[in-house]
Amino acid sequence: MDPNTSGLVQKLAEAGQSHLLQFWKELSPKDQQDLFHELQGVDFQEINGFFKNAMETSSSTRHEKMDGRMEPVPREVLGSVTRDRGSLKDWEVKGLDCISQSKVAVLLLAGGQGTRLGVSYPKGMYDVGLPSHKTLFQIQAERILKLQQLAERKTTVKCCVPWYIMTSGRTMESTKDFFSQHNYFGLDKSNVIFFQQGMLPAMDYNGKIILESKGKLAMAPDGNGGLYRALGNQGILDDMQRRGIEFIHVYCVDNILVKVADPTFVGFCVQKGADCGAKVVEKTNPTEAVGVVCKVDGRYQVVEYSEITLATAEKRSSDGRLIFNAGNVANHFFSFSFLRDVVQKYEPQLQHHVAQKKIPYVDLQGQLIKPEKPNGIKMEKFVFDIFQFAKTFVVYEVLREDEFSPLKNADTQDGKDTPTTARHALMSLHHRWVLNAGGHFIDENGRRMPAIPRDGAAGSVTDDGNRNLKDGTDLPIKCEISPLVSYAGEGLEELVKGREFQATLMIDERGVHELVKNGV
C-alpha cells in the first residue's frame, strides 16, 4: 500500500494531481488505506479530459443564446390528453397490453437527498403529511402493484413490472434498508433492483481535484445522465434483456403525482413506433424556470430557461399559447433497443455540464474551509442529453394538475414545490376523482360543498361525457385514495356514486373511511 512502490505517486504526478497526497503522513493507517483505495479507483487522465472538455463547452456556450436555432415541437409528433381525446383509450389499451406481457419496466432516478427539504435521508423516504403518512416510495410502489392488477385483469395472465432504482453512493444503503424494512411495499423483492450512479471528483477552476478532508476526495454524483454509464457498468441492461423488457419508463422520485409506467403514455409511444418519448406539461408562464423540449438545429433537446432570451420565451401563437411551451418534467419513454444503443454507442459522446458550486475544502494547513461563493465545479450529464440520438422522437402533453407536482423545497410561506404544495396537489386530484365518480362533499352543516369545472382549455368534459370537476375552495378538501384502490380515478363509482362525504375522506383497500374529528 506504499504510494511510491505501487506507482500511485507517478500516476498522480503525470495527471497533475500530486497534491492529493500532501497530508499522507498525517493520516492514520486506516485513513491511508481508504485514501489509497479511493485514488486507485480513479482514472485521472479520463477525469482531466472530462474537465477540459466540460470547461471548453461551458465557455463556448455560456454567452450564446439558442433563440435562432430553435423550433417548437411539430404537431405530428405530439400527443395530448386534451387534444387527442379520441385516441386515449386506444393508447391505454395498447400500453396495458404491453404491461400484461411483462414487456414494460420502470426506472426510477432516486439519487437525491432531501437536503433542501431539511432532511439528510433520500427524498423517496419523505412523508409530505398525507392522512395515510405514506412516503413517495410507498405511493409509487403501490401504483406499480395496482397497474399489474389492471393489466392482469385484462388478460388473466400474471405479469410483472420490474422496478429499477438508481441511487447515489450517499443514498444506496438507506434506500435498500428502507425497502427491506417495509417488505418492498408488497412487491416481489426479486423485481426491485437497486443500482448506483457513478461519482466524479469535484474540481477547482484550475482542474485540481478538491480534498474535502485530509484523506478524502470531494466526490459528487455524475448527474441523472450518469444513468447510461451505470446501466452498462452494473449489468442492468443485461438484466432487462434477460427478462424480455422492450419498453422502459424513466422518471424522477420527487413528483408525487407521477403515473408510474403510465399505460396511455407507453401505448402512445409504442403505437407511434418511438424509440424515445418525453412527457411534458404546458408551460404557461414565460419566466417559469423549466426547460422546454424543442428542436435545435433539427435535433430534439431540452433548452433551459437561461439559454434563451425573454423575447423568445414570451412568443405566443395565434391561439394565445406560448410557442415554446413543452415543459420538461423528467418523465421519459425509451425502447430497449434505443437504450442499448445509447449505452454502447452514444454515451461516450455526451458532454458534461458544468455546475459551479460552493465546495467545502481543506486548505494547505489542513483546515476545513466552507466557502461563501462558488470555488469549483461539479460535472454532470443529464438524462435528456440523449434525445438528439433518437430516430423517432415523440412528445406527450399532460395536464400539470393531474400529473406534475415536484417536491424540492422545505415549507415556507407561499413556497413553491414544497411538502404542502405536493400534499395539496394529490388531495385535489383525489377530490376530483370522487366528484367525477358521482360522489359529493358536505360541510359540517350538511350542505354540499361547491364544485366548479376545471379551469381552462382542459375542456371540462371527459371522453365519457363526465364533467371534469374540482373543488370551489382555495384549499383542497382532505381526501386521499390509496393507489391500491385506483391507479388513475378508475373503479370508484361503486364506492362513492350518489354518496355524501365529510372531510377527511380516506379510501383504501379496507374500504371508505371518514376521519371526522369533533365535527371539524
**pLDDT tens-digit map of 215-225:** 999 998 888 99
What dihedral do alpha carbons 288, 294, 296, 300 form, nearest 10°? 130
Residue-wise pLDDT tens digits, 305-361: 888 899 999 999 999 999 999 999 999 999 999 999 999 999 989 989 898 999 999
CA-nearest of 157, 135, 136, 139 to 148 is 157
Predicted pLDDT at 261: 98
Question: Cell digits for 500?
Answer: 355524501
CA-nearest of 407, 513, 486 to 137 is 407
Question: Cell digits for 270?
Answer: 409504442
Q: Rounded to whole angstroms, how far apart are CA atoms 49 and 46?
A: 5
Q: Rounded to whole angstroms, how far apart are CA atoms 74 and 282?
A: 14
Residue-wise pLDDT tens digits, 414-438: 789 999 999 999 999 999 999 999 9
Are residues 304 and 312 in contact, defined by beta-carbon separation less than 8 angstroms? Answer: no
Q: Which ranges of 300-371 would DSSP assign to H, the alpha helix?
A: 310-313, 336-341
SS3 76: helix
Predicted pLDDT at 60: 63
pLDDT greater at residue 519 or residue 381: 381
Alpha-carbon 133 to chain mean position: 21
The H or E element that residue 247 is part of is strand 247-252
Q: Is the pLDDT score of 88 beyond 90?
A: yes
Burial class of 181 by CB neighbour count within 10 A (0 to 12, 13 to 18, 19+): exposed
Confidence bin at 516 (pLDDT 50/70/90): low
Question: Cell digits for 194?
Answer: 437497486
Over residues 170-198, mean pLDDT:
96
C-beta atoms surrounding 270 within 10 Å? 21
Q: Rounded to whole angstroms, how far apart are CA atoms 190 and 161?
A: 11
Note the pTM of the prediction, 2 decimals: 0.91
Q: What is the DSSP letter of 285?
A: S
Q: What is the DSSP letter of 508?
A: E
Q: Is the pLDDT score of 30 beyond 50?
A: yes
Question: Cell digits for 504?
Answer: 377527511
Q: Rounded to whole angstroms, how far apart are CA atoms 462 and 343?
A: 41
